[in-house]
Each structure stands twice: as structure tokens, then as C-alpha cells.
Structure 1
Amino acid sequence: MFQQTFKNFNINYNSLNENNTFSSGDQITGHISFDLTKQTKITSIAMTLTGKASVHWSSGGHGGGRRRRSRRRHFSAKLEFFNLRNVLIQEQSVTGRAAMLQPGTHVYPFMCQLPQGNFPSTFHGVHGKIEYTLTVGISRPWHLSKDFVTELTFVKHIDTNQPDLRAPLSGTNQTTLCCLWCASQPITVTASVEKKAFVPGEIVKVICEFSNGSSQTATLKVRLQQKQAFYTHNKVNRRVVMKNLASVSRQPISAHASDVHTEIMLTIPPTASHTISNCSILVVDYLIEVTLSSCAFPDLTVLCPIILCDTPVHSQPPAYL
């Protein structure tokens, strides 16, 4: 019945920037519009602006059977950052009579403001999400309320002037192979990146220096890893998911090679989400993983933790003597 009476319902809001994102304290303006096919009584039209996070996962009890299903444990948590309501139309307060809307097109402007606060960026993950929505609810006499929802993309701004975000990162890992009383020359890998903070779509220059003291060839691989961590409120239970977002491999490195220097350009996907460190139940981190692997020795890995933010960060200029 609702679809027969209400047609072409839209929630339209005005973009503040080319990325169509919003941040803490931003004002949201726009309008809702719909067509009515007949005269209709309306108790209220209200708009709700919400920000919330939720996680859910299960463990154990895989496979069929009633006993296995009964042993499956479910974990979940929810957070509400804010819930703001604004009434666009309401029944007459004196008479309590519903508003009568005539057939045709109806347009109602709205204006609301995101509260100030340290809210995390929008994110949709494997076992949870952080979302910000505008919901328009239409109430009619003797009918269930009908809700229309549109999602906003929220971005948390960070202070990009922090020195540690512009400083280079570096790490080293080393091993040797032993056979009886003999030991190979050192097998080492050193990796560095020019800064800690990047934006989605940016190219990361990874500088690698390595030596392969073994008698077998080795392969160098660089990967961008996303770590999604989901928690219950007490932090006792958690679920971690690693996702490989990008990778680059080099040609095999010959045996007994030493002091090899190479630079690898790794592109961060433009669709990558921002780092999330300010939500108690959902955390998103990023790692540049540099691995030297061979059948002759265990993988040697160097990890460089980076963050993804919304504002470009320039690397720290070198110090001159």
C-alpha cells in the first residue's frame, strides 16, 4: 500500500567536497522529495542522523548436526556515537489532527549538523562496520512507520603536522644457515619507507637492501597488508582478519648475492579505507610487509606499520650538515 501511495522518494544532500565526505562538526543540508498519488494523512515526517559501530562473529560448531550447531559461540558488540532527531512535519499539537497532504510532488528542505567528537571513519569490514546514516521516517495514522535510509561517508581528520607521520621507517631482519660446524654467510633484508602516513591511491617507495648468503636463490616480495581486528566490549574475545591489498615481487635473487639494492613502487588502492584507531570494538591497521623467501631458509620478514589518512603528508626533509 505504501508503494502505491508514495512514489519516487529521494533523500538529497549537498556535497561539501569533491569526495562527497563529511567530518566532525560539518553541517548537512539538502531536501527530501516524494510524489503522492492520492490525498494522504501524515502523522509525522522525521529525520534521524546516527553514527554507530557493530561487530559480530562466531566460532566453533562448524559443519552440520544439532550438537555442532549448539556448540557454536557468537560474539557481538555495538556502539552508538550519536543519535539526533529532527522533525520536518508533525501532527497539530492543539487538535492532535494529522496533516493532510494533497496529491503531487512534495519537497521538504532539511538542515542538521554532525556533532563535534572523535568519531572513527566509515568502514565496512568482514565482521563489522562503522556507519553514519540519514534516516527519514514517515508515520501515518493506523499504519506502520516507513523508513528510508541513506549512508554518509564520514572521514576523521588527523593532524598531519605530527613529526612521526613524516619521519622515515626502517627495519632489518637477519639469519644464517648452519650445517654441522659450518655456517653460511649472513642472509639479511633491510626495508625502509620515506614516511609513515599516506593517502589512498598514493605510491609508496619501498627501499630494500639484502644479501643472500645461502646457496639457493631467494625471492623478494613486498605486500600491503590490512589488519582488521574486532573486539567484544570487555576485550576478552577478538577476531583478526588479514587482507592482502597489493603486492609486488622481484626476479629471483641469485645465491651468494651481497649488498643488493632495489626500490619497489607499491600503489595503495584508491578504495582503501582509512586507518581506524579510535574505536574500542573495531580497529584497522596497515603494514608494509617485505619478505625474502627461499626453500633454503625460513622467510625473513620486515614490517613497516603505516597509516592511511585523508590528507597528503610530505616526507621529512633530510638533515644537512
Structure 2
Amino acid sequence: MMIKCFSVEYDQMNERATFSPGDTLSGRVTVEARKETKVQCLMVKAKGKAEVKWCDQDGPTTTLNQEKKHYFHLEIIILQDKNKGDGSEIVGQGRNVYPFTFVIPNIDMPSSYEGKWGRIEYSLKAKLSMSIWSIHKRKIEFPFLTNAEFPFASKSEMIIIGLQEQQSAMKMSFYGSGKVTLNVSSEKTGLRQGETMQVSVEVLNDSTQAVTPKFYLCEKQTFVAQSKTIVHINEILFGTGESVQAQTNRTIRNVLSIPSQLPPTFFNCSLMKLEHTIKVTLGDHLARDPDIKLPLVILLASSKPHHKKPKDKLGTWK
């Protein structure tokens, strides 16, 4: 109980409170001791990694699929005794503050992300060793943003232009004793966090029953480990259109609003990727093949809104 409080924290660089490749990450480790205390080592590490993990069940057999990718591993030793285990380093009574600085490698790395079976994590970890029986640790994460504005494809001019172009798709679905034709269109393919876009669906209802289209924003998470792949689909309902009566035609419009905190589309991680689509469906058990999808690329917001300091910015051990 020599150590009253042990914590690690970092300094924010911008209004987003995020870091990117090439940035300087500065902070401090604070050790509050009840009295003068001998220590063996005080160190702090900065890490960036992606990790995927899930289990497959085949009868009584459970198989763990797991894989990691390390982007960087940096380490600074703040205090270390002269001879291993002799406790020649001293932490004074009261509050002791030890600053540190890391330079994040300037390489292509994906943004922080947490999905169903995997996460991309950037963290700081402080470790205070007093003896082999007395070790204090504290870990906190810091939000990381890739430098790539388009972390899913080439930055060619044609790709950028293509994201602004209108897109459409048509599908015919058999419904009861007739058929329903859906013609779905959106204003563009690429949309930034927080932006809105109109989605239209032309319904040609040649069936004998009324149909009601529903609009979804779909998120497809793909994870890869040990040459195996697993997919998780998350659907967000953003609108329900008015009913289209039998033997009538109608065009229904709805506004898709991208939540500002929704993770952007990305492909620049070898263990996982995130894709988005717009789905329009009749959503009825009587319909065969009732869904129609349009690809959607969600980009990082161009503006930089002010955010409160993240709750895990300061980590404390007591």
C-alpha cells in the first residue's frame, strides 16, 4: 500500500481529441506515494494493433479463430534501477509527475474501430514495478484517425468524382398473384458523417395487394482470421414509406441522415473491413426476392466539431 495513486494521461492535440500518423503524443505518468518508496522500473508503452477473435461451434467441439496485427510498439523507460532488482531508484513521498513523448509512426494505419468480433485499438500502458510481487499497471486508449481521406480505394480523381454521381437500381419482385417493380435511386454514392441525402423509390404495383417499402442503412462488418471469414450485418431503419395500393404506381422519397458517430467505410485493415449499403425492401413474407440494395460509402466528416474530453483520457489506479 505504498502507492496511493497511479495514473497515466495524454494531452489533446485538436478539437477532435484524436491522433494520426506522424503526430506527437505527449502525456505524463503520475505516482502518488504515501512515503519514499524504492522501485525497480517505471515504463510507459504506446501500441497500435488490430485483433480479431470468434469461436466456431461444431457439436461438442469449439474452435477459436484469432489473429492479431501490430502497427507499432513504442516504449520509454522512465525509471530503472542500476542493477536488476536492487531497488536503487526512489519515488519520493507525495505526488511525482513523469512526462513522456512519443512520435507515432508516419505509416498507413486504420482508424480506431470496434466491431462485433474485432477491434482496432491504440493505447498507452504504464507499468510500475516495485518487486516481482508488487506491480501496478494502468492502460488507456487514445482515439486514432487515419490520414487517408478515402481508406477504401485509390485516391484517383475518377474515384472522387464517382462518389458524387447519382446511382440507381431496379428489381422486379413477385408478390402474391402479381408483380411489383422497384426502381431505387440516390443522389450520390459517397456521404460524409452527419450529412443527409434523399433516397427515392418508384413503386409499380401490379399485384393484388398493397405494399409498403421500408428504408434501411446496412452496415456489413467482415472479419478474417486463420484464412476463415465471418460477417456481421447491422441494419438501421431510417424510414417507412406510405403504402402503395394494388394496381397503382407511386414514387416515395425519404431522407437518409448519417449519424455523426457512425464509423466511416474502410478497407485499409487486413483483418477486417466495414462496408455500407442502402436497402429498400417490401418486408413482407408474401414477396419473393423483395430487397434491393445500393452501395454507399461513408466518409469522415470534413468539419471538426468540438468534442468533450473522452472519459478514458485519464486512467487512475488506487
TM tier relative to shorter chain: 0.7 to 0.9
1:296, distance to aligned residue in structure 2 (A) = 4.7
Match of 2:12 in 1: 15
Query: Is 1:173 the equivalent of 2:136?
Result: no
Q: Deviations over 1:11-55 (max 9, x none)?
A: 221212222111111111222223111211122221111111111
Figure out how many residues of one structure are paired with residues of the other and give that number: 295
1:303 is aligned to 2:303: no
Q: 1:225 to 1:178 in 2, by over 3 A?
A: closer
Residue 196 of structure 2 is aligned to residue 203 of structure 1: yes
| SS across alignment from 1:219 | coil
Does the alignment pair 1:54 with 2:51? yes
The SS at the match of 2:230 is: strand
Q: 1:83 to 1:77 in 2, by over 3 A?
A: same
Q: Which has the higher contact order (CA 8 A, sep 6+)?
A: 2
* Matching of residues 1-321 of structure 1 within 5 Å: 4-61=1-58, 68-69=59-60, 71-92=61-82, 98-159=88-149, 162-175=160-173, 184=178, 187-234=180-227, 237-258=228-249, 260-294=250-284, 296-312=286-302
Matching residue's letter, 1:174: M
Q: CA deviation at 1:245?
A: 2.9
CA distance in 1 between counterparts of 2:143 and 2:111 reads 8
Letter in 1 for 2:2: T
Q: Is the 8 A contact 1:216 1:296 kept in 2?
A: no
TM-fit CA distance, 1:178: 9.1
Q: Per the alignment, in what secondary structure is the counterpart of residue 273 of structure 1?
A: coil
**Displacement after TM superposition at 1:288 (Å):** 1.0
CA RMSD of superposed structures (Å) = 2.5
Matched AA of 1:203: T
Give the Cα–Cα distance (whole angstroms) in 1 for the partners of residues 38 and 281 of structure 2: 67
Question: Does the residue aligned with 1:241 lie in a helix, a strand or coil?
Answer: strand
Distance 2:106 2:237 in 1: 35
TM-aligned CA distance change 1:84 to 1:222, over 3 Å: same
Aligned counterparts of 2:285 and 2:81: Cα–Cα separation in 1: 76
Give the partner amino acid of 1:193. Answer: S
Q: Relative to 1, partners in 2 of residues 1:217 and 1:138: Cα closer, same or farther, differing over 3 Å? A: same
Cα gap change, 1:294/1:217 in structure 2, threshold over 3 Å: closer, same or farther? Answer: farther
Shift of 1:293: 4.1
Contact 2:7 2:29 (C-alpha < 8 Å) held by counterparts: yes
Match of 1:163, SS state, is: helix
Query: Which one is further off, 165-174 or 80-89?
Result: 165-174
Q: Is the 1:198–1:312 Cα contact (8 Å) retained in structure 2?
A: no
Change beyond 3 A, Cα 1:166–1:11: farther
Q: Corresponding residue for 1:316?
A: none
Shift of 1:215: 1.4
Quick check: 1:23–1:155 contact (8 Å CA) kept in 2?
yes
Paired AA for residue 198 in structure 1: L
Q: CA deviation at 1:193?
A: 2.1
Larger Rg: 1
1:12/1:138 CA distance change after superposition, 3 Å: same
| Post-superposition offset of 1:177 | 6.3
* 2:279 partner SS: strand
User: Retained in 1: the 8 A contact 2:40–2:85?
Assistant: no
One-letter amino acid of the counterpart of residue 279, structure 1 = C
- The corresponding residue for 2:153 is none
Deviates more, 1:167-176 or 1:15-24: 167-176
Report the Cα distance in structure 1 between the residues aligned to 2:182 and 2:85, rounded to whole angstroms: 79
Structure 1 residue 285: Cα displacement: 1.1
Q: Which residue of 1 aligns with 2:306?
A: none
Task: Identify the residue that residue 65 of structure 1 maps to in structure 2.
Answer: none
| Paired AA for residue 171 in structure 1 | A
Q: Is the 8 A contact 2:164 2:188 kept in 1?
A: yes
TM-score, normalised with respect to structure 2: 0.84
Cα distance in 1 for residues equivalent to 2:260 and 2:19: 18
